[in-house]
Amino acid sequence: MTPAAKRYSMRFIALMMIYSLAVVGVTYFLRQLDPSGPVRVMLALAPVLPALLALREFIIFWRAMDEVQARIHAESLLIAAGVVSFASFSWGFLESWADAPAISVIYVLPAMALVWGVAVIFVSRRFK
């Protein structure tokens, strides 16, 4: 593992732990205190900050990748964007016209990450 990969892994794991704590903490405070107005909005958006910082760390890591790794991740990201976009597009039609249950958009980012991770496995096989 390269030094950049080690640094990214440690920072990403730390930020995901902070993100997880923020989700649990916000859930607790919203249920216990039931704030309103700007306080509720700020609490609801609190988990976004560590997620944005994790994105920043990934961009830094991406810039440190060699060309092959960057190409693998770029292609995998394109696949993830296509799969998740068309899945959500299709589901929108099902919700509107076929009485399918509504799915919150909060699941789009985790779906992107999941499909991206799976795509990296398959795309990287082409380069071995």
* pLDDT digit string (tens) for the chain, length 128 residues: 899 999 999 999 999 999 999 999 999 999 999 999 999 999 999 999 999 999 999 999 999 999 999 999 999 999 999 999 999 999 999 999 999 999 999 999 999 999 999 999 999 999 87
Yes or no: say if 8 and 61 are a contact pair by the CB < 8 Å rule: yes
Yes or no: say if 80 and 115 are a contact pair by the CB < 8 Å rule: yes
The ranges assigned to domains in the chain are 1-64, 65-128
Model pTM? 0.86
Structure confidence at residue 74 (pLDDT): 97
